[in-house]
């Protein structure tokens, strides 16, 4: 099982968790790999911050909206993620017209 699946499975099972809780429940996991993958998953909107870690308190994470709504076709997911889809649909072919 990869680090990505490990994190997503843990968050599905436990709801909100910190990186330390994920490491504690999976002793074979490496802290640096989990922390790096968590940052990547936040960038992909698969994981969201619940609380930001400050002053010795760790950040708490939960599943993001994309991880919860992975149904539908790949085209529907792209339309949700691409904010300029409606504008491109209207004006997209105008730039490719012959001069």
Burial of 48 (0-12, 13-18, 19+ CB in 10 A): middle
Q: Residue 99: what pLDDT? A: 53
98 domain-assigned: no
CA-CA distance, 83 to 32, in Å (whole number)?
A: 33
The pLDDT confidence band at residue 89, using thresholds 50, 70 and 90, is: low
pLDDT beyond 90 at 24: yes
19 domain-assigned: yes
Q: Which domain holds residue 22?
A: 3-53+63-74
Q: Give per-residue pLDDT as tens, 5-21.
A: 999 899 999 989 999 99
Q: Give per-residue pLDDT as tens, 57-79.
A: 888 999 887 666 665 677 766 76
Q: Work out how many domains the chain is built from and give that number.
A: 1
Q: Is the distance from CB of 24 to CB of 17 less than 8 angstroms?
A: no
Q: Is the distance from CB of 60 to CB of 49 less than 8 angstroms?
A: yes
For residue 74, CA distances in Å to 45, 62, 68, 77 come to 16, 23, 15, 5
């Amino acid at each position: 099982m990869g680090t990505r699946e490990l994190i997503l499975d843990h968050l599905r099972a436990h709801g909100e968790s910190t990186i330390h809780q994920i490491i504690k429940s999976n002793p074979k996991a490496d802290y640096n790999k989990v922390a790096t993958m968590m940052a990547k998953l936040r960038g992909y909107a698969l994981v969201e911050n619940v609380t930001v870690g400050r002053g010795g308190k760790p950040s708490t994470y939960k599943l993001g909206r994309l991880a919860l709504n992975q149904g539908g076709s790949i085209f529907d997911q792209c339309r949700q993620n691409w904010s300029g889809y409606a504008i491109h649909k209207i004006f997209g072919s105008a730039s490719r017209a012959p001069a």
